[in-house]
Every structure is written in C-alpha cells, then in structure tokens.
Structure 1
Amino acid sequence: MCRHIACLGPEEPLGRLLVEPRHGLYRQSWAPRRQCHGTVNADGFGVGWYAQGDPVPARYRRAGPIWADASFADLARVVRSGAVLAAVRDATEGNAAGEAAAAPFGAGRWLFSHNGAVSGWPRSVAALARTLPPAELLSLEARCDSALLWAMVLNRLRSGDEPGQALADTVLEVAAAAPGSRLNLLLTGGETITATAWGDTLWYLTEPVGLPQETGSARPAGARIVVASEPYDDDPRWQEVPDRTLLSATRTDVLLTPLKDPCDDLESAPSEETGT
C-alpha cells in the first residue's frame, strides 16, 4: 500500500523523475511491480519540491489518482527541482480519505511520507498518541496512521533529534506497541534523505553526474541519489535496502544502519516458571 520516492541531485523537471521512467511512480499508481500489500494506488497522490533559494518546499496533493489529474501533467513538465519527495496512496481501511491524508506531509523545511500500515489502528497506538502535546494532536492534517506517525516524527525533530534518530525511535516505538506494522518512512529536508525499511520494499540508486573537477581527479563533480519503494527502471545499480534498516543519504553518500525489532527481545526472553 502506497509507493513513494525521494530524489536529490541536479535540477530537472518533475516529470523526468515521476512520469517518464517506464516503471516510474506514475505507472506504479496502477501497476507496481514489487508491491506486496494492495494492488492499485488510486486513493490520492502528492509531490513536494524545493525551489532554488527557498528552504520551504511547495506541495501539490490531490485526493484522486495521479493519472486522472490533467493539471499534474503540465506541472510535471515545467516545474524543475533538485530535491523532490512524492507518493501515490492506497488507503488502509479505517483511515481517512481525501487530499489531507495524501503524502507528502509537511512542516517548515520537512517533507514526510509513510508506506505501510499501523497494525490495530487506532487503538494499538492510543497510548503513544497521548504522549504528544495536545496541540500536535489537534493539528493532525487527517485522521490516519500516517498523519500520527508524522506528528511523532515532527515532535522529535522539534525537540532537537537528528532525522535518523527521529525516524528510528518512532519506528521502534510503534513496532513495540503495534507488532506487525509496516513502517517504511521517508523524510527529506532538501539536503538529505532519511528512510526506514520495515515491512515493505525499499531501494536506492546513486548516479554520478557532471564531469570530473579540473584537478586530475577521477571522481565525478557530483551525484544523484534516489530512494524509492521500488526501482523505476532496470538499471543494475539499484540496491535493495534490507528489511529492518535505517537509510541516511546525502547527494554523495548512503549509510545503512540495522534496526532491532523490539518484538525479538520479547520472543527470546526466557519464560518465567513457577514452582509448586
């Protein structure tokens, strides 16, 4: 359920990333190749992008399928950006519908998306919701699990956590409260991409761009990084992220850090025996 993608690199039209690839996000809305849960992502879509010199991204979101939005084709053709996050949605039963429930969610310089579902929603995470400031709960964009996850992540970011710590702690907290949840989270502030693979597919692609510097170095002048639910083409450079992993990326580097499932500790703990 849901497919999402984020990219950092040279400025390019949105359509070159989202529409033109043979198996791009546009096509993934009706024919994803690696989606394990759900089949059609027609319950909304959104794209967020950063304009040069402006740290606060723009967002374009709609409640319907991406292929039915005639305006998006024009927008994707002419809008250019070097930092993008986009998603198509397959709504989970019991979650709100509408444009407000479509990713990317945003606040300040941040864009956020969730691919997956919180098991037992909403009762399973009611206790976690009560730990948030009341104003954060009252400010949720929609009554859905993704919006609550975003509120939890944002609360940590505002408290000073680094993006990787904010995502990892949120995933581990929700996984402990709602075992079996699928928690692929995706976050960017325009200069980095942070993501988790937890219960669904996640891939990344790094591509050198530009010519080597005039110093005799063999290294390219820069790089392009794409992080996505699934590859948009058959380029052999795509790398799959192992499940239960945190990904942290810049335009030139990718770091993968294993995440420990809190349920593993419960399963491996010795059982308590009582004598008679």
Structure 2
Amino acid sequence: MCRHIAYLGSPVSLGRLLVEPEHSLVRQSWAPRRQRYGTVNADGFGVGWYAEGDPVPARYRRDRPIWGDPGFPDLARVVRSGAFLAAVRDATVAGADGEAAAAPFASGPWLFSHNGSLRDWPDSVAETASALSARELLDLAARTDSALVWALVLHRLRQGDDLGTALAEAVRELAGAAPGSRLNLLLTDGAAIAATAWGDSLWYLSDPPAGRVVVASEPYDDDPRWYEVPDRTLLSATPARVTLTPLKETTP
C-alpha cells in the first residue's frame, strides 16, 4: 500500500532521487521490491518540496499513475531542493477524491504521507475521530483513511507536539482502535524527518559527512549504507543524526 520517500541535504534535482535511480520511486510505482501489501501503486502520486527562504512547501499532485504524467519528468529535472517528500499511492478502497487523496498532505510547514491502511475503515476509528473538532473533520483533505491519519497528526502538531511525538501518539491511538492496521507514517518540516515503521518496510540512508539523509519505504539503489528500520519503531532524523526509538503496542 503505497511507497514514499523524504530527503534532507544539499539541494539536488527532484529527479536525482525520484526518477534516475534504478529502483527509483517511479519504478516502485509498478515494480516495488519490498512492498508487503499490494503490487502496483497507480492511484495517484505527489511531491512536495521547499524553496530556499520559504518555510511553506510547494506541491505537485495528480490522480494518475506517475508513469502516465508527461509533465513530471520535466518538473523533476529542473526543480532543485534541499528538502522534499514524495509518494506514489495504492488506494485502500475505491473513491472519487482524485488528487486530493494523493500524498503528500500539507499544512503550514509540514508535509505528510501514510503508507498502509486502517483496518476495518472507517468503522474501527469512529471513536478516535471524535477527538477532532467539527472544523477539523470538515477540513479533511479527502474521504480516506490516510486523510484521517493526517488530521490526527496535524491536531497534535498544532497543539505543540514535535514531529516524532505527533506520529508516535497517533500510531498508538490508531493501533489501539484498529489492531492490525499498517501505519508507516512519514513527516517533515523541511529541517527534520520523522517516520514510523508499523506493518511495512522502512529504510534510511544517512551520510553525515555529506550532510544528507534519506528515509524511504525501500532503497532506490543497492548502496550498502541503506539500513532497514525494525518494525514498531519511530525514526527521527536530521542530516547529522538518525535516532530509532521502539514503539510499544497498545492493548485494545
């Protein structure tokens, strides 16, 4: 269910990581190597990136397969950024939300993606969703499980939680309400990355001397410095450091 990737470091073209590698995100849309659920990620895609001096990221999203958008290779070739997040989507259930359902979701300085699904959606998380205000529910980006996950994370960010705490607490609540859900979450503010491994693959490539870090559902090449994140783990990363923290299962 979906593939995603986030990068922090020296400015590079989006295509350097998303298109050019042998096992890039574009290739993962039809031939992922480590995806545990689903086989084709053709229900939309998106990329969000930060421009120097502007804390609010730009986004480009579509409701089609990434390989079917003739404009994306040109955009990826010329846009350069030192921080970006991109995803290809495999929908949990059929819907008509179009590109609104494609990650990355965004608000203010934050970009977010969810790789996974909420089990027995939407009935299983009705009580969890009741913690959101009527305004927050009306502002849901789409009528999808990922959009609700984002709303819960965003609620915590706006209350002052840091990136890692916002993800960890959202995962704890959702896993308790809907056991068996897959909750690989990816979040950045352009300066740091937080991610969770919960039910699907997550890897990172850290290169502190070069001042860069990549966090992704799976490696885009065979560089031996890729490291797999254990399941039930929170990852917090900057270009200088990566920290892994075990996440505890919540008993329903």
TM-score category of the 2 structures, normalised to the smaller one: over 0.9
- Among candidates 254, 259, 275, match of residue 242 of structure 2: 254
Q: Distance in 1 between matches of 2:23 and 2:203?
A: 14
Q: Distance in 2 between matches of 1:141 and 1:152?
A: 12
Note closer, same or farther for the CA distance 1:86–1:247 as it changes in structure 2 (3 Å cut).
same
Matched, 1:241 2:229: yes
Give the aligned residue type for 1:35: Q
Q: Which runs of 4+ in 1 moved over 3 A?
A: 94-97
| TM-score normalized by the length of structure 1 | 0.90
Does the aligned pair in 2 maintain the 1:21–1:233 contact within 8 Å? yes
Matched, 1:128 2:128: yes
Note closer, same or farther for the CA distance 1:177–1:94 as it changes in structure 2 (3 Å cut).
farther
Matched, 1:9 2:2: no
Q: Once the two structures are aligned, what percentage of the paired residues are identical?
A: 72
Matched, 1:101 2:101: yes
Q: By how many angstroms is 1:94 displaced?
A: 5.0
Query: What's the secondary structure of 1:74's corresponding residue?
Result: helix
Does the aligned pair in 1 maintain the 2:13–2:80 contact within 8 Å? yes
- Among candidates 205, 209, 212, match of residue 224 of structure 1: 212
1:43-192 paired onto structure 2 within 5 Å = 43-94=43-94, 96-192=96-192
Q: Distance in 1 between matches of 2:184 and 2:89?
A: 13
Q: Which runs of 5+ in 2 are unaligned?
A: none
Count of residue correspondences = 252
Q: Distance in 2 between matches of 1:146 and 1:242?
A: 22
Give the aligned residue type for 1:231: P
Q: Note the alpha carbon deviations across 1:52-80, whole angstroms, 9 max, x for none.
A: 11000000000000011011111001000
Give the aligned residue type for 2:102: A
Q: Note the alpha carbon deviations across 1:27-72, whole angstroms, 9 max, x for none.
A: 0000000001000000000000000110000000000000110111
Q: By how many angstroms is 1:133 displaced?
A: 1.0
How big is the alpha-carbon RMSD for the aligned residues of Structure 1 and Structure 2? Answer: 1.0
Which protein is bigger by CA-based radius of gyration?
1
Q: Distance in 2 between matches of 1:133 and 1:256?
A: 32
Does the aligned pair in 1 maintain the 2:207–2:239 contact within 8 Å? no
Q: By how many angstroms is 1:207 displaced?
A: 2.1
Give the aligned residue type for 1:164: G
Note closer, same or farther for the CA distance 1:180–1:192 as it changes in structure 2 (3 Å cut).
same
